[in-house]
Chain A
Amino acid sequence: MGDHHHGPAKGLSRWLFTTNHKDIGTMYLWFSFAMFILGGTFAMIIRAELFQPGMQLVEPGFFNQMTTLHGLVMVFGAIMPSFVGLANWLIPMMIGAPDMALPRMNNWSFWILPPGFLMLASTLFMEGGAPAFGWTFYAPLSTTYAAPSVTFFIFAIHVLGISSIMGSINIIATIMNMRAPGMTYMKMPLFVWTWFITAFLLVAVMPVLAGAVTMMLMDIHFGTSFFSAAGGGDPVLFQHIFWFFGHPEVYIIILPAFGVVSQVIPAFSRKPLFGYASMVYATAAIAILSFVVWAHHMYTVGMPVAGELFFMYATMLIAVPTGVKVFNWVSTMWRGSLSFETPMLFSIGFLVLFTIGGFTGLMLSIAPADFQYHDTYFVVAHFHYVMVAGAVFSMTSAVYFWLPKWTGRMYNETMGKVHFWISFVGFNVTFFPQHFVGLAGMPRRVPDYALQFADFNMMSSIGAFVYGASQIMFLYNVIATIVSGEKVSDEQVWDGAEGLEWTLPTPAPYHTFEVPPKIEATPAHG
């Protein structure tokens, strides 16, 4: 044993060469927070321009670059890596493994991310500007009519796609091979389960995205005509390929969030999770259905009626497993001994707001009605309810929940609660009015708008500034905790927390579970 019990190396090389899952998890989390701030800055520019009708601050071309980069950075830079970071930290500790299955690949999958995003961000300073075709980069807007920087965008997508694929391969390999003896699949914590399924989705669809951008590359530079009608190709083909990736992608983003909430709500309800098995099956059902609903993003593209109906019914079907999950979370809280610490507040905020986003999703799934909602602010409101109030709220909940375990120090509870309430109010002030302007016909991705939308847009912008500022408070709270938070030594930290990670000393030592733990025979979940 002796030699194995070394601590982390010193200095920069510790981070550069580390193969420790906790170090890599930490880097993922900090990197994704940096991207969250960058993408948030772009959002603030968008909301500042939309504060009043008329052109105020930026050129329309630059505005389009902002909407594009905001989407790309938030999806690929902030949300996805943050959950990979969480997976790195928690999955080995939750299944009783000493580390990830492939620690060197783990190092690589993190370290190719920053260069990828550097490449993407550098397009801002190039001639012709950054990509300005929206995060969905529909061809031929992104091929024939794109700025030259699109080639950098394509390679950036390749790089971060490779990073995601390697990350998910590692997660699957860890879960399949490194569970402690007795940790059967149906005993795994739900966070591990949701990530297990998410990782399969990633392995299946990230290569499809890579294929789409490769075709763009070939159309732009090598004279092929995948998406060019002049050469026998078809722009609509791009949309099919993109959304064949894009729809599973939204579940890639939300499933780990489901996992987090399924850990946090039982802990603060002091009850086991209601309907563990149904949660697992519902997650798998959502993942499978996600492959057959992609064209609901394209109702207005000119599909046959049979196609519209198929995708409409398939989409509505997803509400069933999702409803099972919401029901189970509420049932977990039912007659529980509830307490409302910050992680629980964010998880309940998730539950309420994600459900609203789910309902607007059902509205959008109705093909005939979607012709009115398509490409309006109603869609913007919908996906921010599921992306921000869904993924980001649950991520925030996770950080508050596990931060004491990671650092051995307790965050400032009062500041955490203030952060929650400002976020909750700021978020709703930002995005709730967007439902109204969307239904009234305000299109997405416009730098200027008709006068009748002025009041709601001003509200939206004020809410966005408040929500944005509250994240600085979050950053401060986390740093203050690490530097000088009140020390915690209790292993369990939260009296209702269950799971292997809460049996480890606090703070979690650099190396854990070098000897696999004994898993009790009774199932950990009710």
Chain B
Amino acid sequence: MLRLSRNPGADTAIKLAAVACAMFAFVFVVMVPLYDVLCDALGINGKTSGVAYTAVPAVVDTSREVKIQFIATNNDGMPWEFRPQVTQLTVHPGAATDTIFYAANPTSLPMIAQAIPSVTPSRAAGYFHKTECFCFNQQPLEGLASTEMPLQFVVDQDLPKDIRTITLSYTLFDVTTMAGSTIAAR
């Protein structure tokens, strides 16, 4: 056995203290990244990928249609006007589709927003690819300004057959005070 001290009691204590420190570090360096990795890998929690999807050449599966619904929600205290241009689209898996979300800042101050997506059913999250999304970046807006924000997506051909409707929900957060700090866009 490794001996760290002449007093066997203190020796045990030092080793146990090291275990305690290791467990503290474990939370930060293992649990947090592992949680993100698992959510990404398994597509659970409705989380979609935070980076743009590079479209692979694929045949458009015209044999079936998937209904895509869009929901826009403001987080608590967010004053912006935020809505999808169309609330529902019908697409074929494999076909790239464009749509637009509309945002307006009704206050007189410049603000920065961040949209966080979530997909329902969560099983579909891994099959919903965004090739272009306003949610990849923060959205700054001057006071009383408005903008149209683009979204391009592809539904994977491998989407399980029993999923006929996918709901994409965006929650808009006010990150004006957080901006500047590193924000991992999703």
Residues of A within 8 A of B (CB): 101-102, 105, 165, 168-170, 172-174, 176-178, 203-208, 210-212, 215, 223-226, 229-232, 234, 236-237, 240-241, 244, 302-304, 307
Contacts and interface: CB of A to CB of B under 8 A. Distances in A.
A231 B9 contact: no
Contacts of A240: 31, 35
Contacts, number: 114
Contacts of B75: 230
A266 to B, nearest CB: 30
Contact of B13 (A105, A206, A208, A211): A105
B35 A208 contact: no
Contacts of A172: 12, 16
Given A173-B12, A210-B24, A229-B116, 15 more contacts: A101-B9, A101-B10, A101-B13, A165-B17, A176-B8, A177-B9, A203-B20, A205-B23, A207-B21, A211-B23, A225-B181, A230-B175, A230-B183, A231-B181, A237-B32
A237 B35 contact: yes
Interface string B108-136: 00000010100000110000000000000
Contacts of A307: 44
A400 B36 CA distance: 50
Given A173-B13, A174-B9, A208 B26 contact: yes
B69 interface: no
A211 B27 contact: yes
A207 B131 CA distance: 41
B56 interface: no
Nearest to B47: A234
B140 interface: no
Contacts of B183: 225, 230-232
Given A102-B9, A229-B171, A236-B45, A223 B181 contact: yes
A125 B27 CA distance: 33
A215 B26 CA distance: 13
A203 B23 contact: yes
B182 to A, nearest CB: 8
Identify which of B13, B35, B171, B184 gathers the most chain A CB atoms within 10 Å of its CB. Answer: B13
A254 to B, nearest CB: 21
Q: Is the interface of A mostly helix, strand, loop or mixed?
A: helix
A241 B13 CA distance: 26
A207 B23 contact: yes
Given A211-B28, A302-B45, A206 B181 contact: no
Given A169-B16, A304-B122, A230 B178 contact: yes
Nearest to A229: B116
B37 interface: no
B50 interface: yes
B39 interface: yes
Q: Is the interface of B mostly helix, strand, loop or mixed?
A: helix
A309 to B, nearest CB: 14
A203 B14 CA distance: 12
B17 A169 contact: yes
A102 B28 CA distance: 30
A450 to B, nearest CB: 27
Interface string B52-78: 000000000000000000000001000
B23 A173 contact: no
B178 A223 contact: yes
Interface in B87-125: 114, 116, 122-123
Given A225-B178, A229-B171, A230-B75, A169 B13 contact: yes
B117 to A, nearest CB: 10
A231 B50 CA distance: 12
B144 interface: no
Contacts of B163: none
Given A203-B16, A204-B19, A237-B35, A230 B116 contact: yes
Nearest to B113: A230
B82 interface: no
B9 A241 contact: no
Which of B17, B24, B39 gathers the greatest number of chain A CB atoms within 10 Å?
B24
23 contacts: A102-B13, A105-B13, A169-B13, A170-B13, A173-B12, A173-B16, A178-B9, A203-B19, A205-B23, A206-B20, A207-B20, A207-B27, A211-B31, A225-B183, A230-B175, A230-B183, A231-B175, A232-B185, A234-B35, A236-B45, A237-B35, A240-B35, A302-B45
A101 B12 contact: yes
Contacts of A226: 32
Contacts of A165: 17, 20
A89 B18 CA distance: 27
Nearest to B114: A230
B20 A173 contact: no
Contacts of A176: 8, 12
A226 B184 CA distance: 11
B173 interface: yes
Residue in A170, A204, A210, A231 with the greatest tally of chain B CB atoms within 10 Å:
A231
Given A226-B32, A230-B116, A241 B27 contact: yes
Contact of A231 (B20, B27, B178): B178
B26 A169 contact: no
A211 B20 contact: no
A103 B40 CA distance: 49
Contacts of A224: 181
Interface string B136-166: 0000000000000000000000000000000
Contacts of A170: 13
A173 B21 CA distance: 17
A102 B7 CA distance: 10
B184 A102 contact: no
Contacts of B181: 223-225, 231
